[in-house]
Amino acid sequence: MTPTARPARLRPTLSSADYCSAEVFEVERERIFHRGWMYVCHVDGIPPGTKRVFDIAGESVIVTRDLDGGLHAFANVCRHRGAQLCDAAMTEATKGAIRCQYHSWTYGLDGALVATPRVDDEFDSSEYGLWTYRIDTWNGMVFVSLDGRSTDAVDLAAWIASATPHAAQFADLPVASYRIGARSETLVAANWKIIVENYAECLHCAVVHPELAELIPLYKSGNVVHPDDPLAPVTFAEGRVAFTTSGRTTLSVLPGLDGAPEYDGVAIFPNVFFDLTPTVLSLTAIFPLGPDRSLVVGEYLFHPDDVARDDFDPTPEVEFNELVGAQDYVVCEMVQRGVASRAFTTGGLTVKDEYVADLVQRYLDIRGPVAPD
Ligand code: FES
Ligand SMILES: [Fe+2]
């Protein structure tokens, strides 16, 4: 007997609990954010002799760069009686040693305990340096891993190669030489995966990003890449040479690029977008603050000679990126409110959501099952 032909069902999205539940977020903290490698900033954001504080899904981490250029990551915890050392708010890089506000124990940028005022005890201060985390760079981008204990802890290169193989095509760009010309922070009331999934599809582009769809005509079709040739360049409209509203620019082409008017990029799992256009590399970091909130930090990188100029003006590039980002965050928050409904089971992924489907699969593979209640 021939089975009756029935229309195929769409592949399911993640579930409401995956986007909303504290339990899933806790599992993600254990198996992804505190286990794998999280992007924190470009090296230019942490000059030699400075420190910064980052919130890695609820763990406050001090990142330092010593005067020799060496990078370090420490728990933001004093070894005396456990006070938090630095203000945990996301801050600019500040110079100088790390001094506890409680009893003034002081640590060098290499984490060594260097002063314990008014303490008379003889003790081995080398036993009381700051607790360290792993830190490494990939092409000028600084990543931290809180996993110091697992026997199967992977190094950064292996982590990127396995979770984001597509990033390899950018490995030879001299990104470490680019300079930060602008930075932004946005609180988004959405789960980090909703922001990453939104990045992975362009079905929304014609509706949500009219200006972007004017600049990049392919996006009017809802495709992220050319359907017949996924490796073909994603080019700008005729006559436009830069990722700005007008398509014009006063800035130089980034080192390593030839100025071809096109876009290329990748979402490096789990928390940074790498968006490359001729005059600006936009690095967008997502810091998950809870199941339904994320801090999104944009770093805009330019040709180092441009950033050094007195009349350097990145406004057109920054404003266009920020416009597209703001449009995205409105719809991400809309999705967060929708998937929190008791009615939502799962949605459906279409062919043009194929990169979202890939992402869902990769995420589930890395996260693994969450125990039922
Ligand atoms: S807790 Fe930091 S110096 Fe005492
Ligand atoms: Fe978008």
So what's the pLDDT on residue 90?
Answer: 56
Residues of the chain with CATH 2.102.10.10: 37-153
The finding on whether 77 has its CB within 6 A of some atom of ligand 1 is no
- pTM score: 0.95
The H or E element containing residue 26 is helix 22-28
| 30, two tokens | 């254990």
| Assigned CATH topology for domain 37-153 | Rieske Iron-sulfur Protein (2.102.10)
What are the φ/ψ torsions at residue 243 (nearest 5 degrees)?
A: -85, 70
| Assigned CATH topology for domain 1-34+172-373 | Naphthalene 1,2-dioxygenase Alpha Subunit; Chain A, domain 1 (3.90.380)
Residues of the chain with CATH 3.90.380.10: 1-34+172-373
Helix, strand, or coil (residue 337)? helix
| 204, two tokens | 């929304």
So what's the pLDDT on residue 177?
Answer: 98
Q: Decide: residue 342, CB within 10 A, 0-12 exposed, 13-18 middle, 19+ buried.
A: exposed
Which residue lies with its CA nearest to atom 3 of ligand 1?
103
So what's the pLDDT on residue 3?
Answer: 60
Q: Report the nearest atom of ligand 1 relative to the CA of 100.
A: 2
The full DSSP string for 239-288 is T--SSSSSS--SSPPPTT----SEEEEEEETTTEEEEE-SS-EEEEEEEE
Interval between CA 209 and ligand 2 midpoint (Å): 7
The finding on whether 203 has its CB within 6 A of some atom of ligand 1 is no
Q: What is the pLDDT along the chain (373 residues), one digit of tens a residue?
A: 556 677 688 999 999 999 999 999 999 999 999 999 999 999 999 999 999 999 999 999 999 999 999 999 999 999 999 999 999 875 789 999 999 999 999 999 999 999 999 999 999 999 999 999 999 999 999 999 999 766 667 899 999 999 899 999 999 999 999 999 999 999 999 999 999 999 999 999 999 999 999 999 999 999 999 999 999 999 999 999 999 999 999 999 999 999 999 999 999 999 999 999 999 999 999 999 999 999 999 999 999 999 999 999 999 999 999 999 999 999 999 999 999 999 999 999 999 999 999 999 999 999 999 986 5
The finding on whether 105 has its CB within 6 A of some atom of ligand 1 is yes
Interval between CA 242 and ligand 1 midpoint (Å): 51
